[in-house]
Amino acid sequence: MKSDRLLSILLLLQTRARVPAAELAERLEVSVRTIYRDVDSLSAAGVPVYAERGRHGGISLLPGYRTDVTGLTAPEARALFVLTEPGAHSALGLDEALGSALRKVMAALPAPHRPTAELASRRILIDPDRWLAGPRPTVDLSALETAVFTDRRLRLSYRHSGAARARAYTVDPYGLVAKAGTWYLVADRSGTPRLFRADRIARATVTDDPVRRRPGVELADAWQALRRGVEERPVAVRVRARVRRPRLDMFVRIVGSLLATRIEVLDPYADRAAAPGAVDANATPTTETPATDTPTTDTPAAATTAEAEAEGESAPAEEWVTVEVGYAEVGATRQLLQFGTDVEVLEPSEVRAELAATAAEIAAGYGSAGPR
């Protein structure tokens, strides 16, 4: 609706001194021409808004102009109180500030929406931690936060994964990112974006030097580039394997990001409910990749077998799902050994040989009289 868009423009202009019309158009999903028409409408309504042309131009409000906006809708109020779980706020030392802010928002809400907002915080719980994640190390973000908000360079003592000693770096921070309960510092090192896990930073010192970020790059841009680098690594080895159907859900959750987009389910009873060759929709891999999963007794394959036996049919010898998984190198395929006999690699032969050799080495280690 136009009224919602005008309100959004007004709120955005109050938070920044000047916003380019193209940016407003992109954020509100309209054309630049529509933005200029909306600006004319705001001006006609008495809002002191104006546009400046040129390379550094944009749309601005007259300095000092503010307006109190209390016309939150019920869904907007609910959204505010759902996104108030601790964790991120605690790490930043903002728990008290969050509570105070929410009390002020509650007081400013229209009376009919207050019960809805309060109910949302009691009926919806967001837990960002993975299952069986274990205790998290204590992370001190104070120096990182100071550098981020004062635009200063950072000197880090950082220990990389698997390294015995920390290394020293001077970096240009873009900001902090909390992903799945873990904090990361996004920063440039020698002009190249890097990701630093906060719980591996042994020491952080804020320097007096101003930050040297790449022009036009914001935190969201740098984060997306780094995230793609992690999730879209080149695939050098494609593995074709089969997974026992009762363990498919667990397999997908652990290896999901490496799976191909299609899983073929070899279901001996598929012709009873669907055409031959149909693919089980429930077997489609997802993008959720928790590090661990707890096996349960909820096994659809077992239920299908029991049903068949009750009707006088013989149970199938085994139900398997054929999958394709991509790895950066042959050595990385050792991950599949964690599934034991529930996963069998069909091809390529070099991966079968790698897993057989590793399994033999493990067996030899446990077959000896004691630890080596």
Q: Which of 38-47, 194-203, 253-262 is the least confident region? A: 253-262
Q: How confident is the model at residue 68 (pLDDT cuts 50, 70, 90)?
A: low
- pLDDT category of residue 100 using cuts at 50, 70 and 90: confident
CA angle 283, 331, 329 (to 5 degrees): 75
pLDDT for position 275: 40
Distances (CA, A) of 2 to 37, 99, 248: 11, 33, 48
Work out the average pLDDT over 219-247: 89
State the Cα–Cα distance between residues 247 and 343, nearest whole angstrom.
9
User: What is the SS3 assignment for 242?
Assistant: strand
Q: What is the pLDDT of residue 86?
A: 57
The DSSP call for residue 132 is T
